[in-house]
Chains A and B, each alone.
Chain A
Amino acid sequence: MSKKLKAVIIGPGNIGTDLLMKIKRSEWIEPVWMVGIDPESSGLKRAAEMGIKVSSTGLDGMLDKVIEDDIRIAFDATSAYVHAENSRKLNELGVVMIDLTPAAIGPFCIPPVNLKQHAEKLEMNVNMVTCGGQATIPMVAAVSQVQDVEYGEIIATVSSRSVGPGTRQNIDEFTRTTSGAVEKVGGAKKGKAIIIINPAEPPLMMRDTIHCLTKNTPDQERIIESVQNMVKEVQKYVPGYKLVNGPVFDGNKVSVFMEVKGLGDFLPEYAGNLDIMTAAGLRTAEMFAEEAYNQTITLPARG
């Protein structure tokens, strides 16, 4: 039996295409299907050229192939509006759903913080929060793992070119979902998220600032160590995750300044925000595959 789990990607846009390119290199996941709704879309054409089966009639165009092709993992890179339906249909067939939309039906997943517990519980739908969340919540968690964080705030600055129409039409989703995850996953009692879109040319690299207010005087030594360790954890799947400055301490305020350089698979390196989403999504799927292979979890039975 191959250790690789077979996967479908829904949504052949920037995220879906970047994901496909990353999955092709994975030891644990094999991309089999790409699903779109426009037969003329460049994303579907590109996937077909890469030898991937494509459906241009949405998820329904390939649902009857899920069992036949033994699809075990789905990545949804469409929108929050259609995600619930996609997830329901695929979960019914025993497919684990990795949600890259802001729908957040399932629990938030920030790989170095809580992926293992989701995989061990075989969560059938996990949500990858937002790009800003993936880039910053590990840092909030790094501080809250040392001591209580009363307030966590993140500011994500991304290049205009890397922000697609979906995010733009519903930018509030970003702030709400991210601030919620700063609390739930980051461990801050109260969370806040800010996103800034910058149109500078050449495009700026994704940068993120993380501020935490600790309840008691910050234990500087332990926080510095925790932050540096967490950076290394994220670097395992996003090599361009870089601590630029900090942690800086000012009273009970702890500030960390990050830069996220992408791998440049589909979009250029500056789009670290897309890269960290797709890399985290893939990392999540890989963990499920590893756990299944090690028989820590048993995937839904198939006849």
Chain B
Amino acid sequence: MDLTGKKVTLHDMSLRDGMHAKQHQISTEQMVAIATGLDEAGIPLIEVTHGDGLGGSSLNYGFPAHSDEEYLQAVVPKMKNAKISALLLPGIGTVDHLKMANDYGVNTIRVATHCTEADVSEQHIGMAAKMGMDTVGFLMMAHMVTAEKLLEQAKLMESYGANCIYCTDSAGYMLPDEVTHKIGYLRAELNSTTELGFHGHHNMGMAIANSLAAVEAGANRIDGSVAGLGAGAGNTPLEVFVAVLDRMHAIHGTDLYKVMDVAEDLVVPLMDHPIRVDRNALTLGYAGVYSSFLLFAQRAEAKYGVQARDLLVELGKRGTVGGQEDMIEDLALTMSKEKGLI
């Protein structure tokens, strides 16, 4: 694989996807410290706020330590070069959240839908583009559809005004060939001015390999997370990815040692549990289940005595999508009753 001279825009997820792994309890101080460190290391784009995006604060997903506004207010003014991004899932957040984010100085808005439901994003993508934001269409659980279907949905988002489209491996299910095929197909068929991005999870141990495949196939934005802090087995560990890009002579514009230091000195110490491919995280990838289900399934196991792995496999069979966290307790109750445990 030759990535020499390829330009890659790195996008850190530790302060948004990482919120899943922290049950949305990262403090504003921690966020500022990590974001500042990343800014100094040259990471150009940093996503913050609740793991489920703007408006994610809920009983269903968890109440965060601080509101969206408090996180944005704390982090945005501290950035010297880095831009701040925010995620918005239509059905959870609304255009009101989007306008608020714009008012707080958010540069990039990523409107996320399930990979078959892009048409719910029209009003949000349209509004963000109209406000002149860097507007990204984020197609989640992209492993569940063919490249043709993904393209159809990507074209919808492009037509609403998205200037960048993401192929999002929310379940960490994809293997490199699939990434190559899907990104390559999007690259060939979307407008040449539309940027492409890839968001990986490490549940099958493929996050680095997949991200490289994405770059080779034409993606220029790659999501990663310092120390991998993210849902499931985490995102593409950013410091590792930077080191690999360095060795491959790709252009990433960041300081490897500084990214390493943020990972080791700031992020690892705040982890509630080691972010690794453990039994349940591996099951997420293997069964194609949304990564943020991990801790919910583990809590359901503790409460109702049904194995998290069994729950996750069943959730995969039922074709659950991102956001269906409420299904986990419901299913655990049903399975627990069937087993005569409650």
Taken residue by residue from 4 to 40, chain A's Cβ proximity to chain B (1 for < 8 Å, 0 otherwise) reads as 0000000000000000000000000000000000000
Distance (whole angstroms) from the CB of B37 to the closest CB of chain A: 33
Cα(A194)–Cα(B116), bound, Å: 18
- For A195, the closest partner residue in chain B by CB is B91
Contact across chains for B119 and A194 when beta carbons are under 8 A apart: no
Taken residue by residue from 185 to 220, chain A's Cβ proximity to chain B (1 for < 8 Å, 0 otherwise) reads as 000000010111111110010010101010000000
* Residues of B195-251 contacting chain A, CB below 8 A: none
| Chain A CB within 8 A of B146 CB | no
Contact across chains for A151 and B94 when beta carbons are under 8 A apart: no
- For A258, the closest partner residue in chain B by CB is B330
Contact across chains for A175 and B94 when beta carbons are under 8 A apart: yes
Contact across chains for A211 and B327 when beta carbons are under 8 A apart: no
Contact across chains for B90 and A204 when beta carbons are under 8 A apart: no
| Chain B CB within 8 A of A121 CB | no
| Chain B CB within 8 A of A255 CB | yes
Cα(A74)–Cα(B239), bound, Å: 63
Distance (whole angstroms) from the CB of B89 to the closest CB of chain A: 9
A175: B residues at CB distance < 8 A: 91-92, 94
Question: Looking at the complex, which one of B95, B116, B122, B324 makes contact with A157 (CB distance below 8 Å)?
Answer: B324
Taken residue by residue from 260 to 302, chain A's Cβ proximity to chain B (1 for < 8 Å, 0 otherwise) reads as 0000000000000000000000000000000000000000000
Contact across chains for A168 and B321 when beta carbons are under 8 A apart: no
Question: Looking at the complex, which one of B91, B321, B333 makes contact with A171 (CB distance below 8 Å)?
Answer: B91
| Chain B CB within 8 A of A245 CB | yes
Question: Looking at the complex, which one of B59, B319, B321, B329 makes contact with A196 (CB distance below 8 Å)?
Answer: B321
B324: A residues at CB distance < 8 A: 157, 196, 198
- Contacts A195-B91, A198-B319; is A257 near B116 (CB within 8 Å)? no
* Residues of A130-171 contacting chain B, CB below 8 A: 151, 153, 155, 157, 160, 165, 168-171
Distance (whole angstroms) from the CB of B342 to the closest CB of chain A: 10
B81: A residues at CB distance < 8 A: none
Contact across chains for B323 and A196 when beta carbons are under 8 A apart: yes
Contact across chains for A172 and B119 when beta carbons are under 8 A apart: no
| Chain A CB within 8 A of B25 CB | no
Cα(A213)–Cα(B60), bound, Å: 12
Cα(A225)–Cα(B120), bound, Å: 38
Centre residue among A172, A174, A213, A244 by max chain B CB count within 10 A: A172
How big is the A interface, by class? 35 or more
Cα(A260)–Cα(B30), bound, Å: 43
Contact across chains for B60 and A199 when beta carbons are under 8 A apart: no
Question: Looking at the complex, which one of B59, B117, B329 makes contact with A197 (CB distance below 8 Å)?
Answer: B117
* Residues of B283-323 contacting chain A, CB below 8 A: 318-321, 323
| Chain B CB within 8 A of A248 CB | yes
Question: Looking at the complex, which one of B60, B321, B330 makes contact with A207 (CB distance below 8 Å)?
Answer: B330
B58: A residues at CB distance < 8 A: 153, 192, 194
Contact across chains for A153 and B59 when beta carbons are under 8 A apart: yes
Distance (whole angstroms) from the CB of B72 to the closest CB of chain A: 20
Cα(A175)–Cα(B55), bound, Å: 11
Contact across chains for B117 and A172 when beta carbons are under 8 A apart: no
Distance (whole angstroms) from the CB of B341 to the closest CB of chain A: 13
Cα(A168)–Cα(B326), bound, Å: 22
Contact across chains for A153 and B60 when beta carbons are under 8 A apart: yes
| Chain A CB within 8 A of B27 CB | no
- Contacts A151-B59, A248-B329; is A194 near B123 (CB within 8 Å)? no
* Residues of B41-60 contacting chain A, CB below 8 A: 58-60
Taken residue by residue from 229 to 257, chain A's Cβ proximity to chain B (1 for < 8 Å, 0 otherwise) reads as 00000000000000011101000010101
Other 7 A-B pairs with CB < 8 A, given A171-B91, A175-B92, A197-B114:
A155-B60, A157-B327, A171-B120, A194-B323, A207-B327, A209-B60, A245-B329
Top 10 nearest A-B pairs by Cβ distance? Answer: A200-B319, A209-B326, A245-B333, A172-B94, A257-B330, A211-B59, A199-B116, A195-B91, A196-B323, A171-B120
Q: List 26 A-B contacts (CB under 8 A).
A: A151-B59, A153-B58, A153-B59, A153-B60, A155-B326, A157-B324, A160-B116, A171-B90, A171-B91, A171-B123, A172-B123, A175-B91, A175-B92, A176-B94, A192-B58, A196-B323, A197-B114, A198-B114, A199-B319, A200-B321, A204-B319, A209-B326, A213-B59, A245-B334, A253-B59, A257-B333
